[in-house]
Structure 1
Amino acid sequence: MNVYRTRAGLRHQFRDVLNFYYPACIDTTVGGYVAQLDERDGHIYDSRTRHLVATARGVHNFSLGVLADGPDWCRYAAEHGLRFLSTAHWDADREGYDWLLDSRESTDRTRYCYGHAFVLLAGARALQAGIPGARAELERVFDVLEERFWEPEHGLYADRASPDWALASYRGQNANMHACEALLAAYEATGEDRFLERATTVADRFTREVTSATDGLLWEHYTEDWEPDLSYNEDEPRHQFRPPGYQPGHHAEWAKLLALLDDHGSASWPLERAIELFDTAIELGWDEEYGGLYYTVAADGEPIVPDKYGWVHTEAIGASALLAPHDEAYADWYDRLWEHSVEHLRNPKYGNWYERLTRSHERDDPNRGTAVEPGYHPLTNCWLAMDVLEDEPAAFE
């Protein structure tokens, strides 16, 4: 039996990820989190950089630790990170969150909707966990998102702006997906319909209307008028954040969000669309020769970047867990994804997840940088799977 069909097995993996980052990530001198831990052995390779997304994800992660009755230090760690997020990253003069800091000094004040979405997610989970100051942070960042990024004529969020709030022309899928995720979390934390209504608008507009131009597939990059920019970065297939092509991982991630939206609403379309998107992720992305999901593919499923990313597989695990109560075929995919991930993508010594491997699951570089993955994807999806096992245990029998 797959041990991750049990709450005990999932809790063990959940704690392993938390334990990999704590206490090494806590900086009591500068403040905030040191997120740049080597994924092989956990040593710190950059103690000064503070990235907005990593800070917000850290608050989210430790807040989930509180909600999941994790170690007692999760509350302290969440409080520690939220204080830094609300002071060091916040630019009071321009009213937005700075993207990158060197210790506490801003080095990049670009305003990214993606980063502000993660602040909203952090505020929502911290509020659920009872962390002081969380409600104020949630309201502050939601105001910024609504006033600066929301474009009512499109029903979607703009992607980025200058420090003085001049919007760039680029529009992107990823910022809106994570805004939807954060809005759902804000609804769960507050019970206020304004968050659910906005999440529903974003999900409906993007996954059903915008994608009609690409036969229902989720393209990543768009013009200011939300027309697909099919040539975007076509000469940079390995661009770290904005590669060309379709991403099976984002199809699975949207499937997860739509399944959550289905849990909160009465319409039938979110679940129907979630199933379509998960099935598409597998159909386009599954590597029949080596196993696992490709990173990017063409519309016919031909791989562009065949590498295997840890986050892609954790998102597919979360989506399959949420879909399993509706069809046992997704419980089978849940097992298959876990089997593949444990064999290749999870660090066998520490339980953290590798960022990226080659198609044949080899490590070809240390996967370091300022924009790191501090355990957010595996923690989130373990937490969701635990919730399914509590509410729908028959889905995995």
Structure 2
Amino acid sequence: MTEAIRSDRQLSALRELAARELSRGILPFWESHAFAEDGTLRGGVSDDLSYLDDLPRHSVLAARILWTFASAAAALPDERERHLATARRALDLLVGPMWDEHHGGVYWALAADGTVADDRKQVYAQAFTLYGLAAWARVTGDADALERALWLAGTLDDTARDLEYGGYVEALARDWTPTDRLALSEVDPDVPKSMNTNLHMLEALAELLRASADLSAREALESLLRTALDSIVVTAPFTHCALYFDEGWDPCSDGVSYGHDIETSWLLWDAWEALAAHGVDDADLEWRVREAALALAEAVRTEGVDAEGAVLYAGTPDGPTDRDRHWWPQAEGVVGWLNAFQLGGRAEDRRAAIRAWDYIETYLVDREHGEWFARLDERNRPRTGGAGDLKMGPWKCPYHNARACLEVLRRVEA
């Protein structure tokens, strides 16, 4: 386990601000607004706190809420029971109406009336369900949840895992057979594999290994980690992650996602630490992961950050093409650069982490209505009108920003 960072004045302030934002900002917002009085998940919440209950209910959002509040319960013992109660509401939805009782796994989405709106087995959604179930089992000792998580991991291994080329395919039909409906969203292409889906399978398998010490989970995680290093992380013209791939991992685009790159930098190391804690001893693999993590963190810092310290949204190898500041890359920047500072001791990474948090505090936190704005323009004004420009929605969740706070608490000495 990487040693915690010795605190100083700046890091102590960062830790205090992260603790306050988590306990007084993010978690209370989701406790108050995520669920209706009958326990059902709301469809969405706008910036002015209007409820958008005509929107579909997505399993990814429920799974992310489950992971967030289970993890908060473990990290904040004084608030454990309160946070477990919120996590339980998300769990009941995932293993209840969102769970396919005939074929297993979660549906992509339910309609507002609770009927199934989209029954595909998008691997991205299964990964987050695995992530949430494993965290809940680890924190509570719930044997049924762990059994379900292991079943889901085994089913993904049997149906979605590519044993020839490595990694996991994007989607399957409801009965786990191949489908031609692959795209994760309206802006994603129909390709067999993506960095995004495989990144979240990586974190889910790491969580499952921590919860279960299961040998199959360890094998799958090690295999996926090697695939990420071999096929997803590229080094020219600077280190970044290719985004979309054909079946054999040939890239299908030249896009760069700075937020995903900095998130990948620390999740690669997180996966290695889970493997090392469960008996994997491979100096070459450890070195490769460390070098990739440091290179990704440096590349985002030099290629994808503006003068205010904000992580830009997207680009190509030639430079940024979308300079909006989305909420989640800022959160991942804090963690990714703290992780890089722990691994390499570079002062630039420490500075970048603190600057990223300063940007969050200055511009992203909504002091009037709570939580964070989803997206800001180049002048740091909240964007409106986009499908994701909500306080809560299919893609706006508590997982990135709450996790960033939890990681600050874990990585910086009190």
TM-score by length of 2: 0.84
After superposition, residues 87-126 of structure 1 pair within 5 angstroms as 87-102=96-111, 103-126=113-136
CA drift at 1:278: 0.8
Note the residue ranges of structure 1 that are not aligned, 5 or more in a row: 231-243
Of residues 27, 31, 39, the one that matches 1:18 is 27
Counterpart of 1:52 in structure 2 is: 59
Deviates more, 1:310-319 or 1:213-222: 213-222
1:351 Cα deviation (Å)?
Answer: 4.8
Shift of 1:104: 2.2
RMSD: 2.3
Question: Are residues 1:378 and 2:404 paired?
Answer: no
Query: Aligned match of 2:137 in 127, 135, 148?
Result: 127
Q: 2:317 aligns with which of 284, 293, 299?
A: 299
Give the counterpart of 2:326 among 309, 312, 334.
Answer: 309
Please tell me whether the aligned partners of residues 4 and 10 of structure 1 are also in contact (alpha carbons under 8 angstroms): no
Q: Could you say what secondary structure the match of 2:110 adopts? A: strand
Give the distance between the partners of 1:345 and 1:303, measured in 2 at CA. Answer: 21
CA distance in 2, matches of 1:97, 1:4: 41
The Cα of 1:22 is off from its aligned counterpart by: 0.8
3-state DSSP of counterpart to 1:150:
coil
Deviation, structure 1 residue 214:
5.8
Counterpart of 1:43 in structure 2 is 50
Residue 276 of structure 1 aligns with an amino acid whose one-letter code is: A
Distance change >3 Å, CA 315–CA 170, structure 1 → 2? same
For residues 325-344 of structure 1, what are the structure 2 equivalents within 5 Å? 325-326=342-343, 327-329=345-347, 330-344=349-363
Mapped to 1, the partners of 2:252 and 2:61 lie a distance apart of 28
**Within 1, Cα distance between the matches of 2:120 and 2:12?**
40
Alignment counterpart, residue 222 of structure 1, candidates 224, 245, 268: 245
User: Contact 2:233 / 2:292 at 8 angstroms: preserved in 1?
Assistant: no
1:320 to 324, 337, 353: 337
Aligned pair in 2 of structure 1 residues 212, 298: CA closer, same or farther (>3 Å)? closer
| Partner amino acid, structure 2, of 1:73 | R
Contact 2:225–2:268 (CA<8 Å) still a contact in 1?
Answer: yes
Q: Give % identity.
A: 20
Cα drift, residue 136 of structure 1: 2.7
Say yes or no: does 1:203 pair with 2:222. Answer: no
SS in 1 for 2:117: strand
Is the 1:151–1:158 contact (alpha carbons within 8 Å) kept by the matching residues of 2?
yes
In the aligned structure 2, how far is the partner of 1:379 from the partner of 1:370? 16
Q: 1:145-294 maps to which residues of 2 (within 5 A)?
A: 145-164=156-175, 165-168=177-180, 169-212=191-234, 216-230=239-253, 245-264=255-274, 265=276, 266=281, 267-288=286-307, 291-294=309-312
Greater alpha carbon shift after TM alignment, 257-266 vs 78-87? 257-266
Does the Cα contact within 8 Å between 1:26 and 1:77 map onto a contact in 2?
no
Give the TM-score of the pair, scaled to structure 1. Answer: 0.87
Deviation at 1:212, TM superposition (A): 4.4
1:346 deviation in Å?
A: 1.8
Of the two structures, which has the highest relative contact order with CA contacts closer than 8 Å and spacing of 6 or more? 2
Letter in 2 for 1:161: L
SS in 1 for 2:165: coil
Question: Displacement, 1:143?
Answer: 2.2
AA of the residue aligned to 1:34: R
Where does structure 2 lack aligned partners over 5 or more consecutive residues? Answer: 1-8, 181-190
Question: Alignment length, in residue pairs?
Answer: 374
- Offset at residue 5 of structure 1 (A): 4.5
Any idea what the Cα deviations from partners look like across 1:163-210, whole Å, max 9, x if unmatched? 242244521110000000111111122233432332232122123334
| Mapped partners of 1:48, 1:175: distance in 2 | 23
CA–CA separation in structure 2 for the residues paired with 1:93 and 1:276: 45
Residues 105, 178 of structure 1: alpha-carbon distance in 2 compared, 3 angstrom cutoff: same
Mapped to 1, the partners of 2:211 and 2:169 lie a distance apart of: 25
